[in-house]
């Protein structure tokens, strides 16, 4: 068993930790929100249309549209209103994991605040066998 330094927990069993315990973050860090709190504990989006190349756009909301539930939702809508943006770019710009972004996008799609388009329909994508032959040909060069 590994010995844990006593200064982490106090001088002995049952004694309180010293008053000089390290701070995990300072006041400049702002509020700490766990990712599962942002998504309401959900790990999967309500729709499966959010692959990395799906392009998200947002128009002006209706007058009777409800307020967005979080600052992250509002940030996504504002970005996509200015310029249609891919799911990968939204995740990169927001600093959030792609899974969280997909859940947030699902909320926005359900609320009618965004539209999703795909640059290339899946039926028009080349066959995987053809792509493998192209890669093999490029390697042979």
For the entire predicted model, the pTM comes to 0.59
What residues contact residue 73 under an 8 Å CB cut-off, 6+ apart? 104, 107, 108, 113
CATH number of 32-134: 1.10.10
What pLDDT was estimated at residue 89? Answer: 92
Query: In angstroms, what CA-CA distances link 118 with 20, 71, 122, 127?
Result: 55, 26, 9, 18
Q: What is the pLDDT of residues 104-135, one digit of tens each?
A: 898 888 888 888 888 766 666 677 888 888 89
Please list the residues that pair with 55 across neighbouring strands: 86, 117
Instruction: State how far the Cα of 96 lies from the Cα of 98, in Å rounded to an integer.
Output: 6
91-111: pLDDT as tens digits: 999 888 888 889 889 888 888
Q: Where are the domains of the chain?
A: 32-134
Q: How many CB atoms lie within 10 A of CB 62?
A: 9
């Amino acid at each position: 068993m590994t010995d844990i330094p006593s200064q982490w927990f106090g001088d002995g069993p049952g004694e309180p930790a010293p008053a000089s315990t390290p701070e995990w973050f300072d006041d400049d860090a702002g509020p700490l929100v766990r990712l599962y709190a942002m998504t309401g504990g959900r790990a999967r989006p309500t729709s499966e249309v959010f692959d990395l190349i799906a392009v998200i756009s947002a128009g002006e909301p209706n007058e009777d549209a409800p307020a967005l539930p979080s600052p992250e939702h509002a940030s996504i809508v504002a970005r996509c209103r200015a310029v249609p943006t891919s799911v990968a770019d939204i995740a990169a710009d927001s600093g959030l994991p792609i899974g969280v972004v997909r859940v947030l996008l699902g909320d926005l799609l359900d609320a009618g605040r965004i539209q999703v388009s795909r640059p290339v329909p899946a039926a028009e994508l080349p066959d995987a066998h053809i792509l493998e032959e192209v890669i093999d040909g490029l390697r042979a060069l």
